[in-house]
Amino acid sequence: MSTLIWGGGSFLLAFLLHLAVWRIRLPKRQTKTLLIIMFSVLGAALVMLKFFGAGLAARYGWPVPVTVGDYLHLTLLNVSLILSYMITYSALEADSPSLVIALTVAGAGAEGMTEDDFRNFVNDDRLVKPRIKDLVLDKMAYLENGRYRLTFKGLMLARLFILYRNLLGRGKGG
Protein backbone atom coordinates (compact mmCIF):
# COMPACT_ATOMS: atom_id res chain seq x y z
CA MET A 1 0.00 0.00 0.00
CA SER A 2 2.86 2.38 0.76
CA THR A 3 4.10 1.96 -2.83
CA LEU A 4 0.82 3.15 -4.28
CA ILE A 5 0.35 5.99 -1.80
CA TRP A 6 3.87 7.41 -1.89
CA GLY A 7 4.69 6.54 -5.51
CA GLY A 8 1.43 7.94 -6.83
CA GLY A 9 1.41 10.79 -4.33
CA SER A 10 4.91 11.99 -5.20
CA PHE A 11 4.04 11.84 -8.91
CA LEU A 12 0.87 13.84 -8.25
CA LEU A 13 2.86 16.41 -6.29
CA ALA A 14 5.39 16.68 -9.13
CA PHE A 15 2.55 17.05 -11.64
CA LEU A 16 0.98 19.88 -9.61
CA LEU A 17 4.37 21.59 -9.31
CA HIS A 18 4.77 21.25 -13.08
CA LEU A 19 1.38 22.91 -13.62
CA ALA A 20 2.28 25.76 -11.26
CA VAL A 21 5.61 26.40 -12.99
CA TRP A 22 3.97 26.34 -16.43
CA ARG A 23 1.31 28.84 -15.25
CA ILE A 24 4.03 31.24 -14.10
CA ARG A 25 6.26 30.92 -17.16
CA LEU A 26 6.55 28.35 -19.92
CA PRO A 27 10.15 27.08 -19.92
CA LYS A 28 12.14 27.18 -23.16
CA ARG A 29 13.30 23.59 -22.76
CA GLN A 30 10.05 22.10 -21.51
CA THR A 31 10.99 18.41 -21.58
CA LYS A 32 14.24 18.95 -19.68
CA THR A 33 12.52 21.15 -17.10
CA LEU A 34 9.71 18.64 -16.67
CA LEU A 35 12.16 15.79 -16.12
CA ILE A 36 14.08 17.86 -13.56
CA ILE A 37 10.86 18.62 -11.66
CA MET A 38 9.59 15.04 -11.75
CA PHE A 39 12.84 13.37 -10.70
CA SER A 40 13.63 16.03 -8.07
CA VAL A 41 10.29 15.45 -6.38
CA LEU A 42 10.86 11.68 -6.49
CA GLY A 43 14.32 12.12 -4.95
CA ALA A 44 12.98 14.44 -2.26
CA ALA A 45 10.18 11.97 -1.44
CA LEU A 46 12.64 9.09 -1.12
CA VAL A 47 14.94 11.10 1.15
CA MET A 48 12.01 12.33 3.25
CA LEU A 49 10.65 8.82 3.65
CA LYS A 50 14.05 7.43 4.59
CA PHE A 51 14.60 9.99 7.35
CA PHE A 52 11.03 10.71 8.51
CA GLY A 53 9.08 7.61 7.41
CA ALA A 54 9.30 5.80 10.75
CA GLY A 55 8.01 8.89 12.53
CA LEU A 56 5.08 9.23 10.13
CA ALA A 57 4.22 5.57 10.64
CA ALA A 58 4.46 5.78 14.43
CA ARG A 59 2.71 9.11 14.85
CA TYR A 60 -0.05 8.93 12.21
CA GLY A 61 -0.14 5.23 11.31
CA TRP A 62 0.66 6.00 7.68
CA PRO A 63 2.01 3.11 5.62
CA VAL A 64 5.62 3.80 4.65
CA PRO A 65 8.22 1.81 2.74
CA VAL A 66 10.45 -0.24 5.03
CA THR A 67 12.64 -2.54 2.97
CA VAL A 68 14.92 -1.84 0.02
CA GLY A 69 12.35 -3.71 -2.08
CA ASP A 70 9.63 -1.28 -0.94
CA TYR A 71 11.75 1.67 -2.04
CA LEU A 72 12.55 -0.04 -5.34
CA HIS A 73 8.86 -0.66 -6.03
CA LEU A 74 7.99 2.92 -5.15
CA THR A 75 10.73 4.19 -7.48
CA LEU A 76 9.69 1.88 -10.33
CA LEU A 77 6.06 2.96 -10.04
CA ASN A 78 7.03 6.63 -10.03
CA VAL A 79 9.48 6.31 -12.94
CA SER A 80 6.84 4.40 -14.94
CA LEU A 81 4.36 7.21 -14.34
CA ILE A 82 6.96 9.85 -15.27
CA LEU A 83 7.93 8.15 -18.52
CA SER A 84 4.29 7.53 -19.45
CA TYR A 85 3.52 11.18 -18.82
CA MET A 86 6.53 12.28 -20.88
CA ILE A 87 5.21 10.35 -23.88
CA THR A 88 1.81 12.00 -23.48
CA TYR A 89 3.28 15.43 -22.83
CA SER A 90 5.38 15.35 -26.00
CA ALA A 91 2.12 15.27 -28.00
CA LEU A 92 0.94 18.39 -26.15
CA GLU A 93 4.24 20.25 -26.34
CA ALA A 94 4.39 20.40 -30.12
CA ASP A 95 1.78 19.28 -32.60
CA SER A 96 2.90 16.20 -34.46
CA PRO A 97 2.45 16.25 -38.24
CA SER A 98 -0.21 13.52 -37.95
CA LEU A 99 -2.09 15.56 -35.34
CA VAL A 100 -1.96 18.72 -37.50
CA ILE A 101 -3.30 16.79 -40.49
CA ALA A 102 -6.10 15.14 -38.49
CA LEU A 103 -7.15 18.43 -36.85
CA THR A 104 -7.08 20.23 -40.20
CA VAL A 105 -9.34 17.69 -41.88
CA ALA A 106 -11.62 17.48 -38.82
CA GLY A 107 -11.90 21.27 -38.75
CA ALA A 108 -13.23 21.27 -42.30
CA GLY A 109 -16.39 19.56 -41.06
CA ALA A 110 -18.66 17.14 -42.87
CA GLU A 111 -18.10 18.76 -46.27
CA GLY A 112 -14.37 18.06 -46.06
CA MET A 113 -11.50 20.04 -47.54
CA THR A 114 -10.36 20.25 -51.12
CA GLU A 115 -6.98 18.78 -51.93
CA ASP A 116 -5.64 22.21 -52.97
CA ASP A 117 -6.82 23.84 -49.73
CA PHE A 118 -5.29 20.99 -47.78
CA ARG A 119 -1.92 21.29 -49.55
CA ASN A 120 -1.90 25.08 -49.03
CA PHE A 121 -2.66 24.74 -45.32
CA VAL A 122 -0.45 21.78 -44.45
CA ASN A 123 3.04 22.73 -45.62
CA ASP A 124 6.65 22.75 -44.42
CA ASP A 125 6.03 25.89 -42.35
CA ARG A 126 3.49 23.96 -40.26
CA LEU A 127 5.01 20.47 -40.30
CA VAL A 128 8.77 20.51 -40.84
CA LYS A 129 10.15 23.86 -39.69
CA PRO A 130 8.73 23.66 -36.13
CA ARG A 131 10.38 20.23 -35.70
CA ILE A 132 13.73 21.59 -36.90
CA LYS A 133 13.39 24.53 -34.52
CA ASP A 134 12.72 22.06 -31.66
CA LEU A 135 15.85 20.04 -32.58
CA VAL A 136 17.99 23.18 -32.44
CA LEU A 137 16.36 24.38 -29.20
CA ASP A 138 16.95 20.98 -27.56
CA LYS A 139 20.57 21.06 -28.75
CA MET A 140 20.18 18.00 -30.93
CA ALA A 141 21.09 19.91 -34.09
CA TYR A 142 22.72 23.17 -35.08
CA LEU A 143 22.93 25.33 -38.20
CA GLU A 144 26.40 25.94 -39.63
CA ASN A 145 27.15 27.50 -43.03
CA GLY A 146 23.57 26.97 -44.16
CA ARG A 147 23.55 23.28 -43.20
CA TYR A 148 21.86 21.55 -40.31
CA ARG A 149 24.09 19.10 -38.48
CA LEU A 150 23.37 16.78 -35.59
CA THR A 151 25.09 17.27 -32.26
CA PHE A 152 26.39 14.24 -30.38
CA LYS A 153 23.10 14.12 -28.46
CA GLY A 154 21.08 14.24 -31.70
CA LEU A 155 23.26 11.60 -33.31
CA MET A 156 22.80 9.25 -30.35
CA LEU A 157 19.01 9.72 -30.50
CA ALA A 158 18.99 9.11 -34.26
CA ARG A 159 21.08 5.95 -33.84
CA LEU A 160 18.71 4.74 -31.13
CA PHE A 161 15.71 5.15 -33.45
CA ILE A 162 17.58 3.54 -36.35
CA LEU A 163 18.49 0.58 -34.13
CA TYR A 164 14.89 0.27 -32.96
CA ARG A 165 13.52 0.42 -36.52
CA ASN A 166 16.07 -2.17 -37.63
CA LEU A 167 15.05 -4.47 -34.77
CA LEU A 168 11.46 -4.18 -36.01
CA GLY A 169 12.54 -4.70 -39.63
CA ARG A 170 11.20 -1.26 -40.62
CA GLY A 171 14.24 0.28 -42.37
CA LYS A 172 15.18 3.94 -42.17
CA GLY A 173 11.67 5.35 -42.48
CA GLY A 174 10.82 8.65 -44.07
Is the distance from CB of 43 to CB of 49 less than 8 angstroms? no
Q: What is the enclosing helix (H) or strand (E) of 168?
A: none
pLDDT recorded at residue 19: 94
Per the prediction, the chain carries an average pLDDT of 87
pLDDT recorded at residue 172: 64
143: DSSP letter = E
Q: Can you count the helices (H) and strands (E) in the chain?
A: 9, 2
Is the distance from CB of 2 to CB of 73 less than 8 angstroms? no
Q: Which amino acid makes up residue 123?
A: N
Q: How far apart are CA 173 and CA 156, in angstroms?
A: 17
Concatenate the DSSP letters of all residues of 3-62 into one string. IIIIIHHHHHHHHHHHHHHHHH---SSHHHHHHHHHHHHHHHHHHHHHHHHHHHHHHH--
- pLDDT tens profile 104-135: 888 888 888 888 888 888 888 877 888 888 88
Look at 3 and 142; give whichever has higher pLDDT.
Answer: 142
Mean pLDDT of 57-76: 87
